[in-house]
Amino acid sequence: VDESFLVGLVGDGVLPSLTPPMHEAEADAHGVRYLYRPLDLSRLSYTPEQIGPLLRAAGDLGFNALNITHPCKQLVLDELDEVSEDAARLGAVNTVLLRDGRFIGHNTDFSGFAAALAEGLPGAALDRVVLLGAGGAGAAVSYATLAAGAAELTIVDLDAARAVERAATLRGFFPRSRVTAADTAELPELLTAATGFIHATPVGMHQHPGIPVEASLLRPELWVADVVYRPLDTELVIAARALGCRVLDGGFMAVGQAADAFALITGLDPDRQRMREHFLRL
Ligand code: NAD
């Protein structure tokens, strides 16, 4: 491959992101020239609503692709010439390919989580899955879990209306699965019957320390997936491991979205294990 790649990450607060070094190291390992720059909206004096002009500027300057993050994953949809079916259903795009003057949107948050589940928790029972958190990450992981074949998915969020709305949307796309919303008060009962638990709220992040459900609600038979990756060993991950649960930490999703974006951008097959090892060193 003698092509070179210029890629950007658009969003607010993207300067400390680990995604650029993940892409660049993987490109180095493939012997490909690849430059990945964070494009911070406020630093560049662009408002989120100006994502269209920013996309076109990047196109004019020869960018091959952009990753899109908060707060533009929905706003960017209006600016695209083409959107993958999954990204359109999710209503969120995190990867835009710039090809022949056209903007093509994809979502690798969901596909990255699906890959993470398959690799990090192979054979995980998807009979009855409970998801806590129906925000941006929750939307991606719920879609991925149903796409992976979950029979039952119960969505719980402090914002009950958000959980109800997400469940209704997903039922339309996955009619063969049972998708419902439940109240946080029902968590003890739900977790007793669940085969897997996915956590997708900010609880456990450095800025939001704590555990999202009481550790006493976990059992060794229950697999546990956390999307929080700063820190990687959240209180939930530590408690679940101590009990002997199979655990997927949030780094798997972070690496999964990056690996899938790298594959879309370059057409190369990333080495996910190598990307995870690099991520763990960052
Ligand atoms: P968000 O604000 O869009 O959604 C968070 C949701 O959690 C909201 O609906 C909120 O009502 C709910 N919530 C908050 N506290 C709760 C609680 N105690 N109980 C029940 N519900 C609660 O946020 P987001 O973008 O979805 O991010 C959530 C977390 O996922 C963050 O820690 C973020 O860093 C992480 N994340 C990880 C990846 C990854 O690749 N691993 C990707 C995206 C987001």
Best probe residue, ligand 1, of 143, 199, 201 (max atoms within 8 Å of C-beta):
201
> pLDDT tens digit string along 163-187?
999 999 999 999 999 999 999 999 9
Q: Could you give the domains of the chain?
A: 4-107+253-281 (3.40.50.10860), 125-245 (3.40.50.720)
ipTM over 0.90 threshold: yes
Are 34 and 64 within 8 A, CB to CB? no
Q: What is the pLDDT of residue 2?
A: 57
Provide the pLDDT for residue 83.
Answer: 98
Separation of 113 CA from ligand 1 center, angstroms?
14
**Residue stretches of the chain with pLDDT short of 70:** 1-2
Per this entry, what is the length of the chain? Answer: 282
Nearest C-alpha to atom 9 of ligand 1 is from which residue? 135
pLDDT in tens, 47-66: 999 999 999 999 999 999 99
* For helices 272-281 and 19-30, angle between their N-to-C axes, nearest 10 degrees: 130
Which amino acid is it at 40? D
- Ligand 1 atom closest to the CA of 229, numbered from 1: 41
pLDDT at residue 3, as a whole number: 86
- Please tell me the distance between residue 166's alpha carbon and the centre of ligand 1 in angstroms: 14
Distance between CA 83 and CA 267 in Å, rounded?
18
**Which ranges of the chain does DSSP label H, i.e. alpha helix?**
19-30, 51-60, 85-90, 108-120, 136-147, 160-173, 187-193, 235-243, 251-266, 272-281
Ligand 1 atom nearest the C-alpha of 201 is 7
Q: Which residues line ligand 1 (CB under 6 A)?
A: 109, 132-138, 157-159, 162, 184, 200-203, 205, 212, 227-229, 250, 253-254, 257
- Tokens read off for 75: 């706003």
What's the CA-to-centroid distance between 201 and ligand 1, angstroms? 3
Report pLDDT for 116.
Answer: 96
How far away, in angstroms, is 278 Cα from ligand 1 center? Answer: 25
pLDDT of 222: 98
**Which of 98, 95, 96 shows the shortest CA–CA distance to 59?**
98
The closest residue, in CA terms, to atom 8 on ligand 1 is: 135
SS3 106: strand
Active centre residues (catalytic): 73
Q: What pLDDT, on the 0 to 100 scale, is given for residue 170? A: 98
Exposed/middle/buried for residue 147 (C-beta within 10 Å: 0-12, 13-18, 19+): middle
Q: How far apart are CA 12 and CA 1, in angstroms?
A: 33
Considering only CA atoms, which residue is closest to atom 34 of ligand 1? 228
Does an H or E element contain 129, and which? Answer: strand 128-132
CA distance 23 to 25: 6
